[in-house]
Amino acid sequence: MAVLSTLITSLPSLSNIILYAFLSLVVYIVFDIVNQLFGPKDAKQPPVVFSWIPFMGNAVEFGINPIQFLQNCQKKYGDVFTFRMVGKKVTVLLGADGNQFVFNSKQNLSSAAEAYNDMTKYVFGREVVYDAPHSVFLEQKRFIKAGLNTECFRQHVPMIVDEVTDFFKDFKKPTGTFDAYHTFGSLIICTASRCLMGKEIRAGLDGNVAQLYYDLDQGFQPINFIFSNLPLPSYRKRDEACKKMAELYSSIIQRRKAENDNTNADLLQALMESTYKDGTPVPDKHIAGMMIAVLFGGQHTSATTTAWTLLELAARPDLIRALREEQIEKLGSLKTDLTFENLKELTLLENCVRETLRLHPPIFQMMRKVIAEKVTFEKTGHEIPKGNFLCAVPGVTQVDETYFKDPLKYNPMRWIDLDDPVHTMEAGDDADVDYGFGAVGISSKNPFLPFGAGRHRCIGETFGYLQIKTIIATMIRMFDIELEGKSVPKPDYTSMVVVPEKPANIKYTWRE
């Protein structure tokens, strides 16, 4: 008994444990601060942004307003610097040269797969995109790009018009308001499913497909980038949804094959007819994975771009008038059917979408992970060590007055007036490079890169523009619109793409 009592009294009390833990934390924080201020530094490496909290680093400032944070760092450290975020070291390379360095980095030096696959493999499934060897992924990109062709686009335009008309039938009142991001999220999933995913998925949207999509989407949040796998219900549901989605696609493919149903103008059909270079037909699970990747590549990006465009237009009645006049002048009237061909003539409309993508790029930064011992940014001589993330930030470059006059102003005319320095900049000579899915089409040195550049460049740009332009062109025929609030909302950076901060309501009035 005496021994037991001595043991109990010699054990540290709970308050002592808390005290020790607190003191250890303080020592750790102080040590980290002293180390940042006075510790040894490798002069060849980029300057490191100071942070008060070890491990978390600058995550909070970055999370609240990354553009502001990076602009502040740029003023202090220049175009190249490293910041710490939740245990990761991110080296930011700003400006046209920074873009070129990150986007043109060789495959054996830095890798997008190493940066993204921990998150994407659970949503897209295995052996596709970043979970496939890079050469196979490039083949997969080629299949998808081939399926997004002019012949299909011709059929897509009336389908999109049809979906928009049908969607807004639910707006029964002569006038009312709607939340821009939520509304276009719901509309784009209908248009993209109809054009790309196939009629079967479109038909299933009212039921189980929407739930599967939702569960997968919960696996595509910023937290998943930091913690790819946690024992939480959202992670479990994500894994189940990925499996069920693959089974669903497999059953659709089998039915189409069995019934010889092969006249569909959708991407699913194109992938079913593709074959790898070595002659292997594309397995059903690869097709399913690519379809999920396309859905995620295009869904939030297109929804937020449409929302921002309509919000910017709602604040500018002069532009809406000009857009209607453009349709009357180029197409004859506001009743002429929209087509793939006549949409190309609506240059002001195109420039409105382009200007939205400049000011509100849905993906404002793109990452690669250094896999070589180090990479050297020749322009400044900085060496970036293995394990660091390289980060190009078109979202900062696109509002930099070095390249754009009055950069914070929404001015679609800048794309035809050619006053901005960006039009006289010397571009790199890498726009014609073909990594295996056709010429990339834009130099990685361009300061305007909302679709990225180089081997990871977006292949959905043409479809993206087509979809957004068709929706806006149709909507301005149907409605007069105004902002409900006083000004265009601020950006909200807390999700994977940059969305308008709530409330982001648009007031509509049916025309005629």
Nearest-angstrom CA–CA distance, 253 and 266? 12
Q: How far apart are CA 341 and CA 343, in angstroms?
A: 6
* Three-state helix/strand/coil letters over 252-281: HHHHHHHCCCCCCCCHHHHHHCCECCCCCE
Residue 334 token pair: 């506001």
Instruction: Report, in Å, the least distance between residue 155 CB and ligand HEM.
Output: 15
Q: Which is nearer to ligand HEM, 51 or 305 (CB)?
A: 305
Q: Which two tokens stand for residue 113?
A: 């797969």
CB 363 to ligand HEM: min, Å: 4
Q: How far is the CB of 82 from ligand HEM (least distance, A)?
A: 19
Which residues make Cβ contacts (< 8 Å) with residue 214, sequence separation at least 6? Answer: none
| Residue listed under structure tokens 């990871």 | 456
The minimum distance between CB 46 and ligand HEM, in angstroms, equals 21
What is the CB neighbour count within 10 angstroms for residue 436?
15
**Which value, to the nearest 10 degrees, does the dihedral of the CA atoms of residues 10, 14, 20, 21 take?**
140
Q: What is the rounded distance in angstroms from the CA atom of residue 319 to the CA atom of residue 351? A: 11
Q: Which amino acid is at 23?
A: L
Pick 125 or 450: Cβ nearer ligand HEM: 450
Q: Are 223 and 231 in contact (CB under 8 A)?
A: no
Based on CB atoms, which residue is closest to ligand HEM, 48 or 90? 90
Q: Cβ 197 to ligand HEM, closest distance in Å?
A: 10
407 vs 464, which CB is nearer to ligand HEM? 464
Closest CA to 246 of 387, 392, 126: 126
Output the smallest distance, CB 433 to ligand HEM, in A.
Answer: 14
Q: Is 458 marked within a binding site?
A: yes
Q: What is the 3-state secondary structure (H, E, C) of 61-123?
A: HHHHCHHHHHHHHHHHHCCEEEEEECCEEEEEECHHHHHHHHHCCCCCCEEHHHHHHHHHHHH
Least distance from C-beta 105 to ligand HEM, angstroms? 11
**Radius of gyration of the chain from its Cα atoms, rounded to whole angstroms:** 25
d(CA 436, CA 11): 66
- Residue for token pair 């994407």: 120
Task: Give the residue closest to ligand HEM by C-beta.
Answer: 460
Cα distance between residue 112 and residue 103, in whole Å: 10
| Beta carbon nearer to ligand HEM, 356 or 505 | 356
* CA end-to-end distance (rounded Å), the chain: 93
Least distance to ligand HEM from the beta carbon of 347, Å? 18
Sign of CA dihedral 204, 206, 211, 213: positive
Q: In the complex with ligand HEM, which residue's Cβ is closer, 237 or 285?
A: 285
Q: C-beta of 420: minimal distance to ligand HEM in Å?
A: 20
Closer Cβ to ligand HEM, 235 or 364, answer by number: 364
> Residue 129 burial by CB count (10 A; 0-12/13-18/19+): exposed, middle or buried?
buried
Which one, 293 or 399, has the nearer CB to ligand HEM? 293
Smallest separation, CB 236 to ligand HEM (Å): 27
Give the number of residues written for the chain.
512
Q: What is the dihedral of CA 371, 91, 385, 426, to 10 degrees?
A: 80
- For ligand HEM, the closer CB: 57 or 289: 289
Binding site for ligand HEM (CB under 6 A): 112, 141, 144, 293-294, 297-298, 301-302, 305, 362-363, 366, 450-452, 456, 458-460, 463-464
Distance of alpha carbon 88 from the chain centroid: 20
The half-sphere exposure of 134 on its side-chain side, counting CA atoms within 13 A, is: 12
Placement of tokens 């975020």 in the chain: 85
The full DSSP string for 13-28 is: PHHHHHHHHHHHHHHH
Q: 51 or 395: whose CB is closer to ligand HEM? A: 395
**Would you say 116 or 235 has its CB closer to ligand HEM?**
116
Instruction: In angstroms, give the least distance from the CB of 405 to ligand HEM.
Output: 23
Which residues make up each annotated binding site for heme? 458
Which residues make up each annotated binding site? 458
